[in-house]
Structure 1
Amino acid sequence: MPDITVLLQTAFSGLTLGAVYALIAVSLVMVYKVSKIVCFAQGEFFVIGGLTLATFTNQLGWPLWQALPATLAIAALLGMVIERGVIRPVRHEGVGTVIVMTIALSISLQGIALPIWGREAHVVPPFTGLPPLEVLGAFLSAQVIIVILIALAVFAALWYFFEYSLLGIAMRAAAQAPIGARLVGISVSRLTRFGWASGVALGALAGAVIAPLLFVSYSAGTLPMVKAFIAMAVGGLSSTAGALVGGFAIGLMEAYIVGFVSSEFADAIVFLFLIGFLLWRPNGLFGTDDKGGM
């Protein structure tokens, strides 16, 4: 029987993974809520966030307070360009066409990232020099705490945004009834572009905050994207609360499987869990009624 220290240390590892999956899953939900599209290139935005921050901090010597906002601004601009130039021309051509387009976009972004950053992995200095937190002999690094707090803060901000702000309510209306939204003067195309900018920036934020903990390379976004999509499906496709819960649940499950079963079977077990869970609850934990619920 593992002692409490091992169990806690494994839980801390799971929370780290879960925060990453949750952030990417929330970014997927953000795009889905405003365009009804699941963007399978979100893992590449995760990578671009980490690599761009590494460039600013390691090569250009920028302080974090400059490098992080610049990284998110570049990601948001990329999101607007992708929505206008890639997604909008095909969004009415059918779900299959759009899915294929996002997959092609993912592969293309990997091909663009390779000559820019190379095959080698990059790492970013920790955001803070604070010592790790010790709990019953298990250690939780300050960077992990930052990642978890950012994931919770993003959820809280999006919850307030979609439930109480005029812009968030307008975005929900534009996604659910675009014709009706246009009739009352809402610019659906502008809100969709803003949603994509925000979703891509959130994906980049996930990569930026995890970069001090993991080595990020041009091809490192595939598995996090897949796990985040599982979290999104488990929580309910349009629920940010579901994405948060699903992300942490998948992260904890993966950590305990790796720690106490086998790392070789971790991915297979996670996918089997997804199959079983969706057979039990096809709409996820919080449903997919698209009525704006968080």
Structure 2
Amino acid sequence: MMAKTKTSTILIEVLKLQIGSISESIEREGKTVLGDSNLLSQEEITDFCLEFLQLLIELLDSKDPHDTASAQFHALEIFFNNLSKQLLIRGGRVEDLVRYIQFMQHTLIESLGTAKNISPQEIRAILLYLSGLFNEMILAVFRAYLDEKEKTIYAQEAELRETATPITEIWDGVLTLPIIGTLDSSRTMVIMEALLNRIAREHAETVVMDLTGVKSIDSQVSHHLIQMVRAIQLMGSDAIVTGIRPEIARALTSLNIDLGNVTTRATLSDGLKEAFRRMNIQVVKV
């Protein structure tokens, strides 16, 4: 681990001597980049600038400012990570924040012009240090951006899975489950959890699973279907499978899938009629 170097000492001296002008410049740019779009209030931008400079000084004044595993470095990283998430939640663009961070770096570099008795080697060391430091902060911003994007995508996928397979109570004790598209393991678990909860809540006696929207079937899909049928039966309900088209029937036969103990009907309408018959319910046209 490197000891504290003259690089950090020079930067601390520059910051302390020019803290007012540096803070003013960073704050002014922040109000232009972030304030005009109402992403942050004027007070938030001011607090942001002061906190950033304080964290930077603490890092430079630490035992080893180059140590990316230090608590001081981690604190600065978290600061930018949280700021990035806050701006993204408010509709900000990650590229605007990156440009703002680059402006901070340029402001610090420009402030070196007033420093005295700095050798070319020391200038080079300072520039390399600032470049590495701010690159790490930009990476923190992008990590936060990707985290938020992944959360958004996951939430949207979960919502789509839920809305793509609506479970409807057609009659007291009768649920319908139309399955559309392809069944994978994750979607099966989502459907099964929602279905079992509905069976328990509605005290459903019969569940009609309609496969009209299933375009193709393989061993994995058929396994998931059997899983759902068994789960329904374990809950004490009857399972009726409808909408098995000829090509689906041929696929199930070729895969040696045994549906012998499962009631099947050609259409959803026929399946509902069977469910009503079992419950001694007679539906007549008025």
Q: Same fold (TM over 0.5)?
A: no
What TM bracket, shorter-length normalisation? under 0.3
Higher relative contact order (CA 8 A, sep 6+): 1
TM-score, length-normalised on structure 1? 0.24
Could you tell me the TM-score, scaled by structure 2's length?
A: 0.24
Q: Which has the higher helix share?
A: 1
| Rg larger in structure | 2
Higher fraction of strand: 2
